[in-house]
Structure 1
Amino acid sequence: MSQYNGVPGGPTGFGKKKRKKKVLTVLAVIIVLLAAAAIFGYTYIKDALGPADAGNKKDVTVDIPIGSSVSTIGKILEKNNLITSSLVFQVYAKTKENGNLQAGVYDLNPSMNMDQLIAALKNGKVYRHPETSFTIPEGFIVPQIAEVIAKNTGKSKEEVMKTINDPAFVKELQKQFPVIDNKVYNKKIYYPLEGYLFPAKYEFDEKQPDVKAVITKMVQKTQRVMDGHQEEVKKSGKKPYEILTLSSMIEEEAQRPEDRPKISGVFYNRLKKGMKLDSDPTVKYARKSFKVQVLYNELKVDSPYNTYKYKGLPIGPVASPGEEAIIAALNPEQTTYYFFYARPNGQVIYTKTYNEHKRIVQKYRHEWQERAGKS
């Protein structure tokens, strides 16, 4: 028999106490972790239900498309910094059974808590029926945009252009929207706000909105879009102004969405090699001539916009790029192509060498000549 048999404090009793202590320790740790998780979860949900920014009462125009799910609406609100968690919004909104969320255009602000936002979206409290609505197409240049603004503000195109080009007004805008680069003040720049008047649909409560208010809203849209791609801009190693400039070229060169990242890839390849970009839209912009075909003698125009004459990006944007073109400029497709040729039918042919490109040009050049003859 063991000398410890039945003796208190022997190995058997000590082992049981040790195991019991371990179990209690594990339980204590679990309880602490659960308590911490509960506190964190409570704090997270409480914060999510409150205002995204209690001190910010500046309205944000939000468009809720017809047929949007609660999940989609939550993502739209989160993207516009009106809520901090689309997931909490989705769950919380579904607990509110008194009415559905309505589609429409709303003016909301970050100081509204989740209950106020849901109430507004349910009863149309801040739903707006705009008096004025117009769309700026992708690829428009400043004079074209000025025409659209003029038609919807009761002002002449000349008056609108004067406002757009007013250095004092541009400086006011720059204070609000840092996306505007100091390079816009270069005397060789045709229009300081080229590339900053974002192509989109705009709505206003007034029948003839103030010109400055219209322009401000357009630049604000550009700022928001670029802010949404901040990380990509940093990774690109380029400044926002350079991205907008490159995007404007892609916007003008690509006739089909799938070609934007490919054309972007070609431009990046040429930039890395120190090759001139040889982009026709930059010649058209340099000459302020937007006819169908660029002639050989026009390629020699001495302008910092002309990428046939000068290496690198042009001095500034040559059109108003949409978000898809901006995304393409930030995410170029990795290719081994250095040339591309766009046919009138929208097809873009990519080649690796100049000789290949030259053969393609000779083969299809007549198509553009015929099209120019018909126009």
Structure 2
Amino acid sequence: MDNEAKKLEMIEKMKQRKKEGKIVRRIVAIVTLVILLIVSVVGISGYFYVKSALKPIDPESKTEIPVEIPMGSGISAIASILEENGVIKDARIFKYYTKFKNETSFQAGNYSMTQSMTFDEIIESLKTGKVYREPLFALTIPEGLTLEQISKIVEKNTEFTAEQFMEKVVDPEFIKNMMSSFPDLITEEVMDGNIRYALEGYLYPATYSFYEENPTLEDIITTMISQANEILVEYKPLLEEKQMTVHQLLTFASLLEEEATAQTDRETIASVFYNRLEIDMPLQTDPTVLYALGSHKERVLYEDLEVDNPYNTYVNQGLPPGPIANAGKTSIEAALSPTDTEYLYFLADSEGNNHFAKTYDEHLVNVDKYIR
């Protein structure tokens, strides 16, 4: 083959490769365009679906739909119930909406709803307990009570005795079931052998409405634990950031709850405890001594401070083994967001006002001024 023929052959191959290149580029362009179209369609469809799911199913509907929310239901279960009854279009959208709005504290009961209700109206109904039928009875659990004190409230308002209540909260099988039902709330930490009651601190203080004539003791206690779970879940990111467990948080918060008076600055008291923990100084808080003694006293004596008990923070460094009471949201938030101070001491005067000090000498001056 002469040079001219070779040159023509090379030119022909180049033309062929160029032609093939154009075809490949065209195919790539078409495939890319198709992918972009699919993504756009999916995105637009998703947008309109979510937009539709956020609206009432039928804005004109006046038909009442009875909806039963069982005791102990979390937001996932509630959303599923609403979808199954045709009150909302998509349970997942409702669940994400409530989380975005930081809505909690939904009440169990039998509700009367319609397909014309907005998400906000449904949430308000679930929070305020505007129900289809009135609750048969309610239990109000104040902040700062121990399990033993709660047992007496249950005895006063139900057919169960305080002894039956305490038997249930210490029942190993029941505790195991609660750990299984609320794994993010109740962990193996409650099984520490030094802990007096595994579920101490895990029954959230609130008013609970009951719609069944004779709820079981398990249902009553589970409802309180479920509420604690609902409250604590919103603080999970902050707990992870502070490298703090739920058990540690509830224990710390219970100390603030017991030290608090009506005028107490809990965030500042929290700073005192954190400052002491940082330098390995005993917390030396009287409520832990009273819990160790198992009795209430108007005044803690010097001999009480020496009681040999894991809960006594005068003789043991760090936090006690577990909560000494059931803390409310104010104390929980104070434990997570303490004031930034250098205080190591504080005392409350006869009017409940707190006085803080950085040094022991300053503290003694406060003692002379406000206590003696």
Give the 5 Å matches for 1:321-340: 321-340=327-346
Equivalence for 1:236: 242
CA contact (8 A) 2:50 2:93 kept: no
Q: Distance in 2 between matches of 1:248 and 1:344?
A: 22
Q: How far, CA to CA, are the matches of 1:87 and 1:284 in structure 2? A: 39
Q: Which moved more, 1:203-212 or 1:33-42?
A: 33-42
Calculate the aligned-residue CA RMSD, in Å. Answer: 3.6
User: Take 2:247 and 2:122, find their aligned partners in 1: how far apart are those partners?
Assistant: 40
* Residue of 96, 120, 134 corresponding to 1:129: 134
- 2:54/2:94 contact within 8 Å kept: no
Q: Which residue of 1 aligns with 2:231?
A: 225
Q: Pick from 158, 163, 175: which aligns with 2:163? A: 158
Aligned equivalent of 2:277 = 271
Q: Secondary structure of the residue that 1:349 maps to in structure 2?
A: strand
Which segments of 5 or more consecutive residues in structure 1 lack a partner in the other structure?
Answer: 1-31, 52-56, 63-79, 90-103, 367-375
- Between the aligned partners of 1:264 and 1:88, the Cα distance in structure 2 is 29
* Mapped contact 1:153–1:209 kept (Cα < 8 A): no
- Once the two structures are TM-superposed, the CA of residue 233 in structure 1 deviates from its matched residue by 1.1
Q: Which amino acid aligns with 1:237?
A: Q
Tell me whether 1:183 sits opposite 2:189 in the alignment: yes
Q: Which residue does 2:97 correspond to in 1?
A: 85
Specify the SS of the correspondent of 2:327. coil
Aligned equivalent of 1:291: 297
Aligned to 2:146: 141
Aligned partners of 1:264 and 1:329 also within 8 Å: yes
Structure 1 residues 114 and 237: CA distance shift in structure 2, 3 A: farther
CA contact (8 A) 1:277 1:307 kept: yes
Q: 1:332 to 1:304 in 2, by over 3 A?
A: same
TM-score (norm 1): 0.70
Q: Over residues 111-156 of structure 1, what are the superposed CA-to-partner deviations in whole Å (9 max), with x where a residue is unaligned?
A: x98858668959x995341001120010000110011112222121
Whether contact under 8 Å (2:271, 2:340) holds in the other structure is yes
| 2:313 corresponds to which of 295, 303, 307 | 307
After TM superposition, where is structure 1 displaced by more than 4 Å over at least 4 residues in a row?
Answer: 32-40, 57-62, 80-83, 86-89, 104-109, 112-122
Aligned-partner residue type, residue 185 of structure 1: M
**What do the CA deviations read for 1:199-225 (whole angstroms, capped 9, x no partner)?**
100110134421111100111111111
Further displaced range: 351-360 or 194-203:
351-360
For the 8 Å contact 1:153–1:207, the answer to whether it is kept is no
How far apart are residue 341 of structure 1 and its match?
Answer: 0.6
Would the alpha carbon gap of residues 60 and 46 (structure 1) be closer, same or farther in structure 2, given more than 3 Å must change? Answer: farther
Deviations 1:157-188 (CA, angstroms, capped at 9, x unpaired): 11111111111111111100121122322333
Q: Percent identity?
A: 35
Give the CA deviation at 1:61.
Answer: 8.1
- With 207-216 and 272-281 compared, the bigger mean Cα shift is at 207-216
Distance change in 2, residues 1:204/1:87 (3 Å): closer
